[in-house]
Structure 1
Amino acid sequence: MARVTVEDCLEHVDNRFELVMVATKRARQLATGGRDPMVPEESDKPTVIALREIAEGFVSAETLSQEDQRRAEDELAEVMTGASY
């Protein structure tokens, strides 16, 4: 695939600061093995994969926030079912 540009990514996020935050969070997910890439890896590093996913519209701040919310709810449910009173 051709090089990913900031302009490609900015079509799917509000500004450069949000781009940095979304790309960082997504790259961390990919690097720690918590999530699978939504685009072909092509021997790219997690940061490049994250930027390609953003440029193609697969990842946004909203999708990451929804994932965080679901994960927090799942963790809370585990704690509540494991707690004995």
Structure 2
Amino acid sequence: MARITVEDCQERVDNRFLLVQMAIKRVRQYREGYEALVDTRNKEVVTALREIAAGKIMPEDMSLYTPLPEGQEAPRSEG
């Protein structure tokens, strides 16, 4: 089973405070009825972190975002 870590997410967003804010906002969106952007059977917070690590969720201030290098895949979203 693939594991998601904060370090995986920090490759995209290098500010832990912003990372937490993004995950919390996304969890609230799930509870309002939004659909997940990655296939997963995990809890809401893990799904939010998977989306951030995969580059599906981005901060409003794009200067704080690091895109995936060309040819590199995002962490697998199994589980």
Q: TM-score, normalised by structure 2?
A: 0.69
Larger radius of gyration: 1
User: Using a 3 Å threshold, how does the CA distance of structure 1 residues 15 and 60 change in structure 2: closer, same or farther?
Assistant: same
Number of equivalent positions: 61
Q: Which amino acid aligns with 2:56?
A: F
Q: TM-score, normalised by structure 1?
A: 0.65
Match of 1:50 in 2: 48
Q: Which amino acid aligns with 1:54?
A: I
Q: Which amino acid aligns with 1:36?
A: E
**Distance in 2 between the 1:26 and 1:60 partners?**
11
**Distance in 2 between the 1:12 and 1:60 partners?**
8
Structure 1 stretches of 4+ with a deviation exceeding 6 A read none
Unmatched 5+ residue regions in structure 2?
62-79
Unmatched 5+ residue regions in structure 1?
64-85
Larger RCO, structure (CA 8 Å, separation 6 or more): 2
**Distance in 1 between the 2:6 and 2:13 partners?**
10
The two structures, once aligned, show a CA RMSD in angstroms of 1.6
Q: How far off its partner does 1:60 sit?
A: 1.5
Match of 1:22 in 2: 22
**In proportion to residue count, which structure has more helix?**
1
